[in-house]
Each structure stands twice: as C-alpha cells, then as structure tokens.
Amino acid sequence: MSVRFRTALTLILAVIVLQSAAAGQTMPAAIQWVPRDAVVSLELARPKALIDLLAGEKAIAAITALPAYRQQASNPKFQEFLNIINFMETALGTDWRTALKKLTGGGITLAVCPEETVVLIIDAEDEHMLQQLHEMLLSMARSEAENQGRPGSVASTQYRDVTAWTFDGKEAHAIIGKRFVMANRPEGLKAVLELRAGDGGDSLATKPSYIAARREISRRDESTVATAFADLGVLMQVPDIAAVLDQPGENPLAALSFAGIAEAMRGSSWLALGLRIDDETLVCRASVDGSGAPRVASTSPAAFALPKGSGEGAPPNLSVPRRIAALTLYRDLHQFYAAKDDLFSERTSDLIFFENMMGIFFSGRDLTNEVLAETEPEVRFIVAEQQYDPAIGTPIVKLPAFAMVLRVRDPERFDEVVEEAWQKAIGLVNFTRGQQAMPGLIIDRPIHAQTKLTLAYFSTTEIEDKTELDQRFNVRPTLAMPGEYLIFSSTDGLARDLVDALSRETKQSVKPLGGTHSLIEIEGVQLASILQANRQTLVRGDMIKKGNTQEQSEAGIDLLIALARFCKHLKLSIGMQEGLTEASLEMKLNLQ
C-alpha cells in the first residue's frame, strides 16, 4: 500500500470519526430534559413564524400607529427601554428582530413542575450570539449588584462539565452549546442537568398521558407552531382549580352556561393544545380525553348540553349589522329545569324570585311542562352597537343592544302565551315606575317584514335637547315572533335586524354544527367602536374607581380600545368530536 493511499485513507477515516463524534453531540429534544413530574409544558417549535406574524413589518406598523403607543413613546421609562434595545442591537451587530430569531429559532420549551418550579429551555440558532448576549447580561448584572451592595449574588458553580450561573442568587441557568437552560430554583436546573447526564430518571417525554396528548395533537394537525400539555389528574387536586370547576354547580345560570365543560375537565387525565398560523389568523385547538359521559345523568348539567344525535348541535351564530358578539348554546331548557331539584339542593333567593315572577307572567302555568317544554334545545344571544335616530334622540351613555332568540315547537299555540307574558312584564315595570312618579313605557305594535313587533319605549316628545338623553333611552324592549322563533330584544332596531337574519337563515336551510354545544364570536373592531363612543364616560369612571389622574385613565382606556381593535374576529367553539371534548379558538388579527 503506497504512502499516498495510506495518507488519504487516514484522512477519510478521521473525517468519518469527527462526523460521528459531532453527531453524537447532537442535542436531544428539549422535552427529554424536562422532568417527568412536570404538570404543564409549552413547546414552541417554530418561534420564527410567531415572530414574523406578531413582530413583522405590518404588525409593528399597526402598533406604532396606535395613539396608546405614541403616548408611551414619550414616557421616560419607555425611552430607557428603547435605549437598551438600541445598545443590544449595536453590540450584537443586527436588528432586534433578527437577533430574536437567531436566539430562539431552534425552539422554546417551558415547563411547570411541582414545588412551584419553572424550567425554561431555549434553543438558539447562533451559538456565538447566545454567548455574546450572556456576557452582556452578566456584565450588567455584576454592575447592578455592585451598585446595590450585593456583589455575591452574581456567581457561578460547576456541575460536571457544565458551568451554572445565577444573577440574583435565586434563579439558575446554564448554556450548553446552542441551548440555554434556566430554572427559577437551583433544584430545577439540577434536575435538568441530571436528566442530561442520564442519571435523573425518566423525562416528561416518557409519560403516558403526555404521549397520548401529543398523539392527539399530531392526529389533528401536523403543521402546529406550538403545543401544550397539562396533567389534569394532578391539576384537579389543586384546591383552587377544583373550586373553580365546582362553582358552576352552585349557580343555575353558570351551570347552564358551562354545562359539559367542567364535567369533561374533571373526568380527564390530560389536556392537549396545538397552535397553527393561517395567514393572519391564529388557530388554537384544545382537547381533553374525557367526554363527561360518566357523569352525564339526571344529576349533571352536561345531560342537557351534549347533543344526543350525530347531526345535532348548536346552529351557527346569527349575523346582524354592527354585531359586537354572538353566543349560541345547545341547551335543553325543559329537561334542565325539570331536574333543578336534583341539580341544586338549595333553592336560592334568586331562583325563588324567578319562579314567582314567571308564575305571574305566565298566569300560573307550569313553567316546566307548559312553558319551557315548548322550546327547542338552542339558545342564541346577540350584542350589537346601536344606531340612534336623531328624531328620537341620543343618550349620553351609549349602551349596546342585546337580544335572546329561542325556537319553539308549536308557535301558533304558544305565541299568544308569550305575548300575554311580555305585556304583563311591561305593565309591571310601568306600575313600579308610576309608584315612584317616574315616566313609564309606551307600547306600540309596528310591523316589519310581515312580523308584528310589540315595542315599548320612553317618549322624548317633551325633551328639547335630544343630544344627551338619560341612559334609560338606550332601552326600547321589543318582542318579535317570526315563524317558529321568539325574539326578546332590548331595542326594536336589533329586533328588526334579527327578523331579517332569521329570514335569510331559513331560506338558506342552515344546518346545525354537529357535535358543537357552545359557540361564541366577538368582533374586535366593533367592540373598539362602542368603547370609543363611550371613551369619556369610561375615563371618568376609571378616575373615580381607581383614583387615577385623567392622563393615567385615558392611557388605560386607549390601550383597551387598541387591544380590542387589534383582534379583528374571535371565534370559540366547544363540542364533542370522536368521543373527545374539543375546543377551537380562532383569532384573526387586524394588522391594517
């Protein structure tokens, strides 16, 4: 064998050995460094996608154009923050957005463990930049510690081949190649390093409930940007969490609203969540492995919320002009109320008052079998911004209109029963106000789209200045009964819009959303509009309630309006799919 050939062979073998060694140093998935007893984990696999959406040019332009941002820009503390960002950009040799991508591009994993231990693992793309940033933060921490007379709080210690640091004597962190690991307690970092060394027991990745949750996420969607896992078996043992889930069972209205949700959570061992990005829309899907089925009995509110057949479910939300929010629930009011004595052993004063008033309005008819038995298992609520008629007047406080829509089994027989009850309710209001020498409601019967409305309103005839009316002029209670529907609305304007919406729905033969029992939608831009219309009233209320200055209150209210406008549309649906309880949250951002 020639010398040249032996030399070449030696070089080839050396390259293979070096490549094998490098491959052996490849980091395992971050989740394999998370202790098995972690209760909650969040894994952001594609941080760049979120950065591009939430910190992209369109998002930054939208944020910097907000009045709230311009107000903050003049704040000295905000200017100090911007100066720090500029300093880091200069030191790292790139803009903050690029630096953020390089420092987090490999993924972010956050875990909550017992004893209030939190572990954070960040995989950078640029190891040099990660080390550079750490040196900068280390220098700043030492300088601050010396100025505050606690130089010993910044220290390092060696654990096998890893140097661990602390900047305040409480947290602990280390850099291992491109990976940054931090815990809020030294014990948390030690547990991670022991898992890395192979003598710390099993990781969260081997936990059966975690494996099942991740399998469910992958089955639904493989294009997730982030995933989350929660060990419900452990969380349900936390008194505060258990108390929150038990609260709906003590209140009839809350039990009806959250029926099926609390039962499914209590009967599950895990919760899985996946997040994906569709253009400018965040889509989050969550599921638990419990359906609530073991608890679906006459003593459980879920029995009256979970759709019975495959094609049953809540209908789509109604769409009306200036809609702020809409909520549709699949709820069997008849069966729910029939089981009230089993569901709520203690009869509250509110429930007794409700039963007494319903007895008066419905002339002693049995509320269970003669009133609620006429309703179909769907309840729809709509909230919309009002459009005021200048001839009638505009209130100084502009409240949104709201309405409830029910569908009945026998409208021809039941319509007159409801009409009588409605007029009795209006009469009772007028009787009570008359005793207090206050103006009463006037009843009118206009017709819209062949549907007769029963409208009650406060007259403004004798009021000269109709530009700043009292708050009561927001209300014009209206009953409408188009076809098989009952509309109970706070204004005639919304009632008319709903008559039109139901007519369109009937013509389109809209079908229910199979398996869905709860559906809510919020229009952020319209919500911002109603908040803006009442800005001065909200500012004054905030000043009185919190004792803030006018400038502080204006900044807070403007931030609330900005946040509402930033979310163009939000939709949440909850239901049963393939034996699991699932929730889907879609949030379309407004980056214009």
The Cα 5–Cα 519 span in angstroms is: 74
If asked whether residues 476 and 353 sit together in one domain, one would say yes
| Residue that is written with structure tokens 């991740």 in the block | 214
The Cα 442–Cα 459 span in angstroms is: 7
pLDDT at 509: 87
The answer to whether position 136 is within a domain reads: yes
Number of domains, the chain: 2
If asked whether residues 188 and 322 sit together in one domain, one would say no
Overall average pLDDT of the 542-566 stretch: 90
* pTM (two decimals): 0.86
| Residue 250: pLDDT band with limits 50, 70, 90 | low
| Residue that is written with structure tokens 């400038």 in the block | 551
| Residue 18: pLDDT band with limits 50, 70, 90 | very low
If asked whether residues 364 and 499 sit together in one domain, one would say yes
Q: Answer yes or no: is pLDDT of 81 > 50.
A: yes
The answer to whether position 238 is within a domain reads: no
Other CB atoms closer than 10 Å to residue 167's CB: what's the count? 19
Look at residues 188, 206, 224 and tell me which one is the last residue of a structural domain: 206
335-346, pLDDT tens digit by residue?
Answer: 888 888 877 777
End-to-end alpha carbon distance in the chain: 72
Q: Answer yes or no: is pLDDT of 311 > 60.
A: yes
Overall average pLDDT of the 414-422 stretch: 95
Look at residues 206, 234, 255 and tell me which one is the last residue of a structural domain: 206
pLDDT at 287: 92
Computed over every residue of the chain, the mean pLDDT equals 88
Q: Answer yes or no: is pLDDT of 9 > 50.
A: no
Overall average pLDDT of the 260-271 stretch: 84
If asked whether residues 56 and 196 sit together in one domain, one would say yes
Overall average pLDDT of the 167-186 stretch: 95
DSSP class of residue 168? S
431-479, pLDDT tens digit by residue?
Answer: 999 999 999 999 999 999 999 999 999 999 989 999 999 999 999 999 9
Amino acid, res. 462:
E
DSSP class of residue 207? -
The answer to whether position 431 is within a domain reads: yes
The Cα 417–Cα 444 span in angstroms is: 18
Overall average pLDDT of the 408-426 stretch: 94
If asked whether residues 338 and 471 sit together in one domain, one would say yes
Sequence-ordered list of residues with C-beta below 8 angstroms from that of 62, at least 6 positions apart, any chain: 566, 590, 591, 592
Overall average pLDDT of the 291-318 stretch: 74
Length of the chain: 592
DSSP bridge pairs for 407:
485
Quote the Cα angle for 200-33-19, to 5°.
Answer: 105
pLDDT at 23: 35
* Cβ–Cβ < 8 Å for 542, 249: no
Q: Answer yes or no: is pLDDT of 244 > 80.
A: no
The answer to whether position 11 is within a domain reads: no
153: Cα within 13 Å, side-chain hemisphere = 17
Quote the Cα angle for 91-94-99, to 5°.
Answer: 95
pLDDT at 291: 55
Overall average pLDDT of the 41-65 stretch: 91
Nearest to 221 by CA among 272, 281, 290: 272
Residue 62, classed as helix, strand or coil, is helix
What domain range is 38 assigned to?
28-206
DSSP class of residue 303? G
| Residue 4: pLDDT band with limits 50, 70, 90 | very low
pLDDT at 273: 96
496-529, pLDDT tens digit by residue?
Answer: 999 999 999 999 988 999 889 999 999 999 999 9
The answer to whether position 15 is within a domain reads: no
Sequence-ordered list of residues with C-beta below 8 angstroms from that of 447, at least 6 positions apart, any chain: 453
What percent of the chain is modeled with pLDDT above 90?
Answer: 66
Look at residues 511, 544, 561 and tell me which one is the last residue of a structural domain: 511
The Cα 580–Cα 592 span in angstroms is: 38
Say what angle helices 550-566 and 535-546 make with each other, to 10 degrees: 130
Residue 169, classed as helix, strand or coil, is coil
Nearest to 293 by CA among 325, 320, 323, 268: 268
If asked whether residues 340 and 191 sit together in one domain, one would say no
What percent of the chain is modeled with pLDDT above 70?
Answer: 94
Other CB atoms closer than 10 Å to residue 13's CB: what's the count? 10
| Residue 62: pLDDT band with limits 50, 70, 90 | confident
pLDDT at 17: 33
Quote the Cα angle for 317-318-324, to 5°.
Answer: 90
If asked whether residues 201 and 325 sit together in one domain, one would say no
Q: Answer yes or no: is pLDDT of 12 > 60.
A: no
The answer to whether position 254 is within a domain reads: no
The Cα 94–Cα 295 span in angstroms is: 57
Q: Answer yes or no: is pLDDT of 77 > 90.
A: no
pLDDT at 299: 61
196-205, pLDDT tens digit by residue?
Answer: 998 878 999 9
